Amino acid sequence: MKLETYLQRIHYSGAREVTLATLRALHRAHLLAIPYENLDIHLGRPLTLDLAHIYHKLVEERRGGWCYEMNGLFAWALRELGFDVTLLGSTVGAPAQGIDGDQDHLILRVQLDQPWLVDVGFGNGFLEPLPLTPGTYPHNFLEFRLEQQNDSWYFHNHAHGAQGYGFTLHPRQLAGFARGCHILQTSPESGFVRVTVCHRFTQQGIVSLRGTLLKQITSPERYMEVVNAIFGLDATIATVLWEKVWQGHVAWKEEQANAQ
Protein backbone atom coordinates (compact mmCIF):
# COMPACT_ATOMS: atom_id res chain seq x y z
CA MET A 1 0.00 0.00 0.00
CA LYS A 2 1.73 3.13 -1.26
CA LEU A 3 0.41 6.59 -0.46
CA GLU A 4 1.89 8.09 -3.65
CA THR A 5 0.00 5.60 -5.81
CA TYR A 6 -3.25 6.42 -4.00
CA LEU A 7 -2.70 10.15 -4.51
CA GLN A 8 -2.07 9.54 -8.20
CA ARG A 9 -5.28 7.51 -8.35
CA ILE A 10 -7.30 10.49 -7.09
CA HIS A 11 -5.29 12.95 -9.21
CA TYR A 12 -4.11 14.84 -6.14
CA SER A 13 -0.89 16.86 -6.24
CA GLY A 14 -1.77 19.59 -3.75
CA ALA A 15 -0.63 20.49 -0.25
CA ARG A 16 -0.08 17.76 2.35
CA GLU A 17 -0.12 19.82 5.52
CA VAL A 18 -2.62 18.72 8.16
CA THR A 19 -5.09 21.53 7.57
CA LEU A 20 -8.77 21.93 6.76
CA ALA A 21 -7.90 23.10 3.24
CA THR A 22 -5.98 19.87 2.62
CA LEU A 23 -8.77 17.75 4.06
CA ARG A 24 -11.35 19.44 1.86
CA ALA A 25 -9.21 19.06 -1.25
CA LEU A 26 -8.54 15.38 -0.57
CA HIS A 27 -12.22 14.69 0.13
CA ARG A 28 -13.22 16.28 -3.16
CA ALA A 29 -10.45 14.57 -5.11
CA HIS A 30 -11.36 11.12 -3.79
CA LEU A 31 -15.04 11.51 -4.67
CA LEU A 32 -14.37 12.98 -8.10
CA ALA A 33 -12.00 10.12 -8.97
CA ILE A 34 -13.39 6.97 -7.31
CA PRO A 35 -17.04 5.98 -7.82
CA TYR A 36 -19.29 4.40 -5.23
CA GLU A 37 -20.47 0.98 -6.44
CA ASN A 38 -21.65 -2.43 -5.24
CA LEU A 39 -21.10 -4.46 -8.41
CA ASP A 40 -18.99 -7.18 -6.80
CA ILE A 41 -21.99 -8.36 -4.79
CA HIS A 42 -23.80 -9.14 -8.05
CA LEU A 43 -20.68 -10.73 -9.52
CA GLY A 44 -20.56 -13.17 -6.61
CA ARG A 45 -17.32 -11.72 -5.23
CA PRO A 46 -17.16 -11.32 -1.42
CA LEU A 47 -16.45 -7.82 -0.12
CA THR A 48 -13.97 -7.78 2.74
CA LEU A 49 -12.63 -5.36 5.36
CA ASP A 50 -9.01 -6.22 4.56
CA LEU A 51 -7.28 -2.94 3.78
CA ALA A 52 -4.71 -4.48 1.46
CA HIS A 53 -7.50 -6.03 -0.60
CA ILE A 54 -9.44 -2.76 -0.61
CA TYR A 55 -6.35 -0.84 -1.71
CA HIS A 56 -5.69 -3.30 -4.54
CA LYS A 57 -9.27 -3.09 -5.76
CA LEU A 58 -9.84 0.67 -5.59
CA VAL A 59 -6.33 1.90 -6.37
CA GLU A 60 -4.55 -0.70 -8.49
CA GLU A 61 -7.58 -2.16 -10.25
CA ARG A 62 -9.14 1.32 -10.47
CA ARG A 63 -12.52 0.12 -9.24
CA GLY A 64 -15.02 1.79 -6.95
CA GLY A 65 -16.40 0.55 -3.66
CA TRP A 66 -18.99 0.93 -0.93
CA CYS A 67 -18.72 2.65 2.45
CA TYR A 68 -16.44 0.16 4.23
CA GLU A 69 -14.02 0.25 1.30
CA MET A 70 -14.23 3.95 0.46
CA ASN A 71 -13.99 5.29 4.01
CA GLY A 72 -11.63 2.53 5.12
CA LEU A 73 -9.18 3.49 2.37
CA PHE A 74 -9.63 7.22 2.96
CA ALA A 75 -9.03 6.85 6.70
CA TRP A 76 -5.79 4.99 5.97
CA ALA A 77 -4.60 7.69 3.56
CA LEU A 78 -5.46 10.51 5.97
CA ARG A 79 -3.55 8.81 8.79
CA GLU A 80 -0.56 8.33 6.51
CA LEU A 81 -0.61 12.09 5.99
CA GLY A 82 -0.78 12.75 9.75
CA PHE A 83 -4.48 13.46 10.27
CA ASP A 84 -6.22 12.48 13.53
CA VAL A 85 -8.94 10.09 12.30
CA THR A 86 -11.55 8.18 14.31
CA LEU A 87 -13.79 5.56 12.73
CA LEU A 88 -17.48 5.86 13.67
CA GLY A 89 -20.49 3.67 12.98
CA SER A 90 -23.92 4.80 11.86
CA THR A 91 -27.38 3.48 11.00
CA VAL A 92 -28.89 4.65 7.72
CA GLY A 93 -32.42 5.98 7.93
CA ALA A 94 -32.74 5.57 11.69
CA PRO A 95 -31.52 7.11 14.97
CA ALA A 96 -28.23 5.92 16.43
CA GLN A 97 -28.40 2.37 17.79
CA GLY A 98 -25.62 2.73 20.37
CA ILE A 99 -22.37 0.91 21.08
CA ASP A 100 -23.60 -2.51 19.97
CA GLY A 101 -25.32 -1.24 16.82
CA ASP A 102 -24.55 1.29 14.09
CA GLN A 103 -22.82 -1.21 11.81
CA ASP A 104 -24.40 -0.57 8.44
CA HIS A 105 -22.46 2.55 7.48
CA LEU A 106 -18.86 3.52 8.28
CA ILE A 107 -18.13 7.25 8.68
CA LEU A 108 -15.10 9.23 9.90
CA ARG A 109 -14.40 11.93 12.45
CA VAL A 110 -11.33 14.06 11.78
CA GLN A 111 -10.04 16.33 14.53
CA LEU A 112 -8.50 19.63 13.47
CA ASP A 113 -9.21 22.93 15.22
CA GLN A 114 -12.65 21.35 15.68
CA PRO A 115 -14.10 17.95 14.78
CA TRP A 116 -15.26 17.36 11.20
CA LEU A 117 -17.63 14.75 9.76
CA VAL A 118 -15.89 13.06 6.83
CA ASP A 119 -17.66 10.60 4.53
CA VAL A 120 -16.55 9.60 1.03
CA GLY A 121 -18.64 6.42 1.20
CA PHE A 122 -22.26 7.55 1.13
CA GLY A 123 -22.67 7.54 -2.62
CA ASN A 124 -24.69 10.71 -3.14
CA GLY A 125 -23.89 12.64 0.05
CA PHE A 126 -21.65 15.65 0.56
CA LEU A 127 -18.61 16.53 -1.53
CA GLU A 128 -16.70 18.29 1.26
CA PRO A 129 -16.46 17.59 5.02
CA LEU A 130 -19.06 19.04 7.37
CA PRO A 131 -18.23 20.67 10.72
CA LEU A 132 -19.41 18.32 13.47
CA THR A 133 -21.67 21.01 14.88
CA PRO A 134 -25.47 21.13 14.75
CA GLY A 135 -26.67 23.31 11.91
CA THR A 136 -27.57 23.61 8.24
CA TYR A 137 -24.84 23.53 5.62
CA PRO A 138 -25.43 24.53 1.98
CA HIS A 139 -23.03 23.13 -0.61
CA ASN A 140 -23.64 24.79 -3.95
CA PHE A 141 -27.32 24.04 -4.70
CA LEU A 142 -27.67 21.20 -2.16
CA GLU A 143 -28.34 21.53 1.57
CA PHE A 144 -27.35 19.27 4.46
CA ARG A 145 -28.17 19.33 8.16
CA LEU A 146 -26.64 17.95 11.35
CA GLU A 147 -28.82 17.45 14.41
CA GLN A 148 -27.70 16.52 17.93
CA GLN A 149 -29.69 15.17 20.86
CA ASN A 150 -27.63 14.33 23.92
CA ASP A 151 -24.99 11.80 22.74
CA SER A 152 -26.76 10.98 19.47
CA TRP A 153 -26.37 12.72 16.14
CA TYR A 154 -28.33 12.61 12.90
CA PHE A 155 -27.08 13.59 9.46
CA HIS A 156 -29.84 14.77 7.10
CA ASN A 157 -28.80 14.26 3.49
CA HIS A 158 -29.90 16.59 0.68
CA ALA A 159 -33.44 16.20 -0.61
CA HIS A 160 -32.51 14.10 -3.66
CA GLY A 161 -30.09 11.61 -2.13
CA ALA A 162 -30.32 8.58 0.10
CA GLN A 163 -31.74 8.90 3.61
CA GLY A 164 -29.51 10.33 6.31
CA TYR A 165 -28.04 8.37 9.20
CA GLY A 166 -27.88 8.35 12.97
CA PHE A 167 -24.58 7.97 14.80
CA THR A 168 -22.68 8.50 18.04
CA LEU A 169 -19.05 9.48 18.59
CA HIS A 170 -18.12 6.07 20.01
CA PRO A 171 -14.79 5.03 18.37
CA ARG A 172 -14.78 1.92 16.19
CA GLN A 173 -12.28 -0.41 14.56
CA LEU A 174 -12.67 -1.48 10.93
CA ALA A 175 -12.92 -5.14 11.95
CA GLY A 176 -15.92 -4.25 14.10
CA PHE A 177 -18.03 -3.79 10.97
CA ALA A 178 -17.68 -7.46 9.96
CA ARG A 179 -21.26 -8.35 10.88
CA GLY A 180 -22.77 -5.41 9.01
CA CYS A 181 -20.52 -6.03 6.01
CA HIS A 182 -21.64 -9.66 5.84
CA ILE A 183 -25.37 -8.99 6.26
CA LEU A 184 -25.54 -6.18 3.73
CA GLN A 185 -23.97 -8.28 0.99
CA THR A 186 -25.84 -11.54 1.69
CA SER A 187 -29.31 -10.81 3.10
CA PRO A 188 -32.14 -11.01 0.54
CA GLU A 189 -33.64 -7.97 2.28
CA SER A 190 -30.55 -5.84 1.67
CA GLY A 191 -30.90 -3.12 -0.94
CA PHE A 192 -27.34 -3.86 -2.01
CA VAL A 193 -28.36 -7.45 -2.85
CA ARG A 194 -31.56 -6.45 -4.63
CA VAL A 195 -30.10 -3.95 -7.09
CA THR A 196 -26.80 -2.71 -8.49
CA VAL A 197 -25.91 0.89 -7.75
CA CYS A 198 -23.21 3.29 -8.93
CA HIS A 199 -22.74 6.93 -7.91
CA ARG A 200 -20.18 9.36 -9.27
CA PHE A 201 -19.51 12.97 -8.33
CA THR A 202 -18.72 15.34 -11.18
CA GLN A 203 -17.90 19.02 -11.27
CA GLN A 204 -21.55 19.64 -12.26
CA GLY A 205 -23.28 17.42 -9.69
CA ILE A 206 -23.90 13.71 -9.02
CA VAL A 207 -24.60 10.95 -11.53
CA SER A 208 -26.38 7.83 -10.24
CA LEU A 209 -27.09 4.50 -11.93
CA ARG A 210 -29.50 2.32 -9.95
CA GLY A 211 -30.19 -0.84 -11.89
CA THR A 212 -30.83 0.57 -15.36
CA LEU A 213 -32.17 3.92 -14.13
CA LEU A 214 -29.74 6.77 -14.77
CA LYS A 215 -30.26 9.97 -12.77
CA GLN A 216 -28.26 13.17 -12.74
CA ILE A 217 -28.42 15.68 -9.91
CA THR A 218 -27.11 18.76 -11.66
CA SER A 219 -26.43 22.40 -11.02
CA PRO A 220 -28.43 25.33 -12.44
CA GLU A 221 -25.64 25.86 -14.97
CA ARG A 222 -25.85 22.25 -16.16
CA TYR A 223 -29.64 22.50 -16.43
CA MET A 224 -29.24 25.51 -18.69
CA GLU A 225 -26.70 23.65 -20.85
CA VAL A 226 -29.09 20.71 -21.31
CA VAL A 227 -32.05 22.94 -22.21
CA ASN A 228 -29.92 24.73 -24.78
CA ALA A 229 -27.81 21.88 -26.22
CA ILE A 230 -30.37 19.06 -26.31
CA PHE A 231 -33.62 20.95 -26.83
CA GLY A 232 -32.26 23.97 -28.69
CA LEU A 233 -33.98 26.47 -26.40
CA ASP A 234 -32.71 29.82 -25.19
CA ALA A 235 -30.62 29.30 -22.05
CA THR A 236 -32.01 32.51 -20.54
CA ILE A 237 -35.37 30.74 -20.28
CA ALA A 238 -33.74 28.04 -18.18
CA THR A 239 -32.19 30.69 -15.95
CA VAL A 240 -35.63 32.06 -15.10
CA LEU A 241 -37.22 28.62 -14.72
CA TRP A 242 -34.54 26.89 -12.65
CA GLU A 243 -35.86 27.77 -9.19
CA LYS A 244 -39.41 26.65 -10.03
CA VAL A 245 -38.16 23.46 -11.66
CA TRP A 246 -35.98 22.66 -8.67
CA GLN A 247 -38.69 23.31 -6.08
CA GLY A 248 -41.14 21.24 -8.10
CA HIS A 249 -38.68 18.36 -8.17
CA VAL A 250 -38.20 18.60 -4.40
CA ALA A 251 -41.97 18.47 -3.88
CA TRP A 252 -42.27 15.46 -6.19
CA LYS A 253 -39.54 13.61 -4.29
CA GLU A 254 -41.33 14.26 -1.01
CA GLU A 255 -44.60 12.95 -2.44
CA GLN A 256 -42.84 9.81 -3.66
CA ALA A 257 -41.24 9.25 -0.26
CA ASN A 258 -44.55 9.72 1.57
CA ALA A 259 -46.30 7.30 -0.78
CA GLN A 260 -43.85 4.47 -0.02
Q: Which of the residues 105, 158, 181, 199 is marked catalytic?
A: 105
Which of 119, 158, 181, 199 is flagged as catalytic?
A: 119
What b/e readout covers 90-126, taking b as 16+ CB neighbours within 10 angstroms? bbbeebbbeeebbbbbbbbbbeeeebbbbbbbbbbbb
| 139 in active site | no
Would you call 105 a catalytic residue per the annotation? yes
Question: Residue 76 — φ and ψ, nearest 5°?
Answer: -60, -50
Catalytic annotation on 199? Answer: no
CA distances from 89 to 63, 103, 167, 238 (A): 24, 6, 6, 42
* Contact between 191 and 200 (Cβ < 8 Å): no
Distance CA 176, CA 116 (A): 22
> Residues 152, 168: contact at Cβ < 8 Å?
yes
DSSP per-residue codes, 142-189: EEEEEEEETTEEEEE--TTSS--EEE----B-GGGGHHHHHHHHH-TT
What does the alpha-carbon distance between residue 97 and residue 142 come to, in Å, rounded to a whole number?
Answer: 27
Catalytic residue among 40, 67, 104, 158: 67
Q: Which residues are catalytic?
A: 67, 105, 119
